[in-house]
Structures are given as structure tokens and as C-alpha cells.
Amino acid sequence: METGLFIQVLLSGLSVGAIYAIVALGFGVIFNATGAINFVQGEYVMVGGLSAAMLYEAWNVPIFFAILVAIAVTTLLGFLTEAGLLGFGRLRTPAAITIATIAIAVIVKGAAMLISARDTYALPSLLGPEALRILGASTSRQTVLNLVLSVLVVVALTVFFRRTKLGTTLRAAAGDSETLQTFGVSYRTTARWAFVIAAALGAVAGAGLAPLTVMSFDSGTLLGLKGFAAAMLGGLGNPQGALAGGLLLGVAEAVVSGYGTSAYADVVAFVVLLAILTFRPTGMFGTARAVRT
């Protein structure tokens, strides 16, 4: 029974942790391209999850199409985010962009509140409702899907950044965006791709999370911060680190709510965030940037 509980806790932690990992990847992509922290990342997760669940529950759209439409809508939102941030041509420093993303996050949240009328929605699992039994523990089939999804995303992103021309350009922007501009690649092009990719990642995370927990217009802030904690844990901008950080954070939360009290599970991410920023701000696996003055 004890091992059963442990495996149960582990699985539910991994299941949510896989989602945190995907959110963390989104933070990394934007950070690498612009040096800014994107506060809209959590809202992408909310928009992806909420719109898929709304389409499915309120408008009876088949689940598969609902998820595809949700990803398309969120990706468009990423495109619009970049336009809203950099389209006016005045914001270029990471600190100013970070502040402006807070404004956009507030706008997205406000719009979602009006559209969803503060209702909550949820999705069923793509793999059906039957529970999965492993070593005396039972878990949602979504767990398997999320884990596979997060690994696939990390592999796909790694291949994208290493093997494609666009990916290489984005990596170069992370290294030295000014030199890249002298090669004729505009800052806005790299930023636009980064936001589109990050938004798509957020939508995927939202679709993976909606079967595990209900989504509402105000889910985004907390999810974004947890994703950021996961990103910092693994080293901001490091894809493999993001995966490790997300899974670790998910399991840590599950351990607190499984063996302690679920009321304090949400606090775990922030304790982790503060601890990592205080003692090892480069994350467990390091990041190429200076984090201290």
C-alpha cells in the first residue's frame, strides 16, 4: 500500500510536471531570443486550455478539432503579442519588454474573463476516461500522454534549434542579437518566431492540462509562475533543464499534497523559485547568462 501511494504520488507529479516543463520551454525560447521574461506565457496556457475546453463543452466541437483550433488561436495570440510589444518601435531593452508583457498578460486575462463569463471548463482525456493501473496505483491515461508529449517537445525543439536554419538564427539571436542584425536578420523577425513558438508551446501545455484540472480565466498567472520556477530550476533557456525542472517541480508538489496537505502544494513552486534564485540562480544545469550583478 505504501509503495502504491508513492507510485500514485509520483505519477500524478510527473503528469503535471510534464506540463510545467512545456511551459518552462516557452519561457526559455523567448528569453533566448529577447532576453526578456514573458509574463504572457501563463496566459497562453490558460487560453489554450480554456478555449479547447470551451469549444468542447459549450459548443460540442469534437475534442481533436477543439484542441487544434485552440492551438491555432493561441499561436495567433503569440503573433499579436509580439506586434503589441515591438510593433511601436520603442521598446528594445529586456527590462522594458518584460514590463510590457505584464500589461499584455493583464489584457489577455481581462478579455478571457469577459469571454468565459468567469465559468470554469474542463476536457476529457484524449485517451479515454479509463484509469491506468501501474503497480497498485491508478492514474489518468493523460499522464502517459503528457509525459510522451513533453519528451517529444524537448526533442523537437532541440532538433529545431540545432538542425534548421531558423532555429540556428534564433540561437544566434540568443548569443548576440546585434551581430546578427548586421547579417541582415531583423530583431523583429526573430522575436516574432520566438513568440509564435512560445505561444504554441503554451497552447499544447494548456490542452495537456485541461483534462487534469479545471481551467478558468485566472488559471494563467499561477501556471506561468510555476512554469517560470521550473525554467529557473533547470536553468533558464536550457531545454533539457526545463524538462528536468518541470518534472522535479511537479513531483515535489505532488509529494507535498500527497503526504502533507494539498493547501500548501501551490506554495512549493515559489519556495523553489526563491531558493534557486538565492542559492543557485543559474539553475541546476546552468544557463549562459549572467544573473547576478
Partner 1 sequence: MMSRLTRSLSRNNSWELWLTIGLLLLLPMLLATDYALTIWTRMAIYVILLTGLNFINGMAGMISLAQAGFFGLGAYAAGIAAVRFDVPPVLALVIAPLVVTAAALLVGMMSMRLKEIYFKMATLGAGFVLFLLFGRMVELTGGPNGLVGIPPFSVFGFAFTEPIVKYAFVALLAIIGAIVAHNLLVSRTGRALRAYGASEPAALAAGASPFKLRLLAFGMSGFYAGVAGALEAFDARFISPSTFDFMMAVLLVVALVLSGAGRMIGPILGALLLTGIEVFAADYADYEPLIMGVIFLIAVQLFPRGLAGELAARREDRRERAKREAAAQTEREVVRA
Distance CA(218)–CA(54), nearest Å, equals 15
Min dist CB 25 to partner 1, Å, is 17
Any residues with CB less than 8 A from the CB of 279 and at least 6 apart, and which? none
Considering beta carbons, is residue 169 or 221 the nearer one to partner 1?
221
Task: List Cα–Cα distances, 110 to 43, 82, 191, 220, in angstroms.
Answer: 11, 18, 24, 11
Min dist CB 40 to partner 1, Å, is 11
Min dist CB 250 to partner 1, Å, is 17
Binding site for partner 1 (CB under 8 A): 35-37, 84, 88, 90-91, 93-96, 98-100, 102-111, 113-114, 221, 225, 228-229, 232, 263-264, 266-267, 270-271, 273-274, 277-278, 281, 290-293
Min dist CB 56 to partner 1, Å, is 25
Considering beta carbons, is residue 47 or 207 the nearer one to partner 1?
47
Contact 228, 31 (CB under 8 A): no
Any residues with CB less than 8 A from the CB of 53 and at least 6 apart, and which? 66, 121, 122, 123, 210, 215
Considering beta carbons, is residue 93 or 164 the nearer one to partner 1?
93
Distance CA(24)–CA(247), nearest Å, equals 11
Distance CA(129)–CA(142), nearest Å, equals 9
Contact 213, 49 (CB under 8 A): no
Min dist CB 231 to partner 1, Å, is 10
Considering beta carbons, is residue 11 or 233 the nearer one to partner 1?
233
Min dist CB 270 to partner 1, Å, is 4
Task: List Cα–Cα distances, 152 to 25, 88, 101, 201, 247, in angstroms.
Answer: 12, 36, 28, 12, 14
Considering beta carbons, is residue 60 or 293 the nearer one to partner 1?
293
Considering beta carbons, is residue 196 or 273 the nearer one to partner 1?
273
